[in-house]
């Protein structure tokens, strides 16, 4: 069974840093592109970042470029999102999601990690 | 930009729901997906490639359209279909989502 489990969320002050992790199981992690998507309270889904299978290529939304870094450890079957210089508008539930094989979108999602940026 | 309409749809069980997603420019290769999200849950993939149902999705859900206009149809609404539905284009970077349509069951 495919499982994605996020961890590392919490309350952080503006300007602070936080690292989210996404532990993958039930599939060959190293064969799949992975994404992060966030959802602010009461709002819609917003794409954040993506990374290719070996971690050599990453793309970011303009709103997080230069502040967030996506990475992966295929030996540990884990995806990361390092977030720095956090702002109040980064407050959201952060989901990791897997890109399906064969021109498919995000076919499996984690349960989400809450990140709250507040003083 | 993906624009979904209506914002909210309120229908009775057994009725048909028609949700619209309009793109500001043609979606590459019709790479258009639909997701369902219930309160407190992660999104679930329903449709990809505009019209292909994802694994395990009921045949009450169907997608259609091409280019800039896409539709998600839910036939014979059931109480469990109460959720927010999002369209997403994944044909060009950055991938983008519509703002969502809330389906309420009376």
Q: Give contacts of B 55-84 with A, CB under 8 A.
A: none
Residues from chain B contacting residue A106 (CB–CB below 8 Å): 33, 35, 43, 45, 88, 90
Q: Check residue A76 and give its pLDDT.
A: 98
In Å, how far is A44's CA from the nearest CA of chain B?
A: 6
Residues from chain B contacting residue A109 (CB–CB below 8 Å): 42-44
Residues from chain A contacting residue B37 (CB–CB below 8 Å): 45
Nearest CB among B88, B93, B99 relative to A105 is that of B88
In B, minimum Cα distance to A93 occurs at B42
Q: Check residue A50 and give its pLDDT.
A: 96
pLDDT band with cut points at 50, 70 and 90 for residue A113? very high
Query: If you write DSSP's letter for every residue of B32-98 in order, what string do you get?
Result: EEEEEE-TTS--EEEEETTTEEPTT--TTEEEEEETTEEEEEE-S--GGG-EEEEEEE-SSSSPEE-
Divide the 106 residues of chain B into consecutive groups of 10 and give the mean pLDDT of each group: 96 97 96 97 97 96 97 96 97 94 96
Instruction: Give the residue numbers in A contacting B (CB under 8 Å), as ranges.
Output: 35, 37, 44-47, 50, 59, 61, 95, 100, 103-107, 109-112
End-to-end CA distance of chain A: 40
Distances in whole angstroms, Cα of residue A110 to Cα of each of A2, A74, A113: 10, 17, 9
Dump pLDDT digits (tens) for A69-99.
999 999 999 999 999 999 999 999 999 999 9
Average pLDDT over residues A47-65: 96
Q: Check residue A78 and give its pLDDT.
A: 98
Cβ atoms of residues A13 and A116 within 8 Å = no
Q: Check residue A103 and give its pLDDT.
A: 77
Query: If you write DSSP's letter for every residue of A23-80 in order, what string do you get?
Result: EEESS-GGGS-EEEEEE-TT--EEEEEEE-TTSS-EEE-TTTTTTEEEEEETTTTEEE
- Name the one residue in this structure whose structure tokens are 């996506």: A70
3-state secondary structure of A7: strand
Average pLDDT over residues A43-57: 96
Dump pLDDT digits (tens) for A20-38.
999 999 999 999 999 999 9
pLDDT band with cut points at 50, 70 and 90 for residue A102? confident
């Amino acid at each position: 069974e495919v499982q994605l489990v996020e961890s590392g969320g919490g309350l952080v002050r503006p300007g602070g840093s936080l690292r989210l992790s996404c532990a993958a199981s039930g599939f060959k992690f190293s064969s799949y592109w992975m994404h992060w998507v966030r959802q602010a309270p009461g709002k819609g889904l917003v794409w954040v970042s993506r990374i290719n299978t070996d971690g050599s290529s990453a793309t970011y939304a303009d709103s997080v470029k230069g502040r967030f870094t996506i990475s992966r450890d295929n030996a540990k079957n884990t995806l990361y999102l390092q977030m720095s210089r956090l702002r109040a508008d980064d407050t959201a539930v952060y989901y990791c999601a897997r890109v399906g094989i064969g021109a498919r979108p995000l076919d499996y999602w984690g349960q989400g990690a809450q990140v709250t940026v507040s003083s | 930009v993906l624009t979904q309409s209506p914002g909210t749809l309120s229908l009775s069980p057994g009725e048909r729901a028609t949700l619209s997603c309009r793109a500001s420019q043609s979606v590459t290769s019709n790479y258009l997906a639909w997701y369902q999200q219930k309160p407190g849950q992660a999104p679930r993939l329903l449709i990809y490639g505009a019209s292909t149902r994802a694994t395990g999705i009921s045949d009450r859900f169907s997608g259609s359209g091409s280019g800039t206009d896409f539709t998600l149809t839910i036939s014979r609404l059931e109480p469990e279909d109460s959720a927010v539905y999002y369209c997403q284009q994944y044909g060009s970077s950055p991938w983008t989502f519509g703002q969502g349509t809330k389906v309420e069951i009376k």
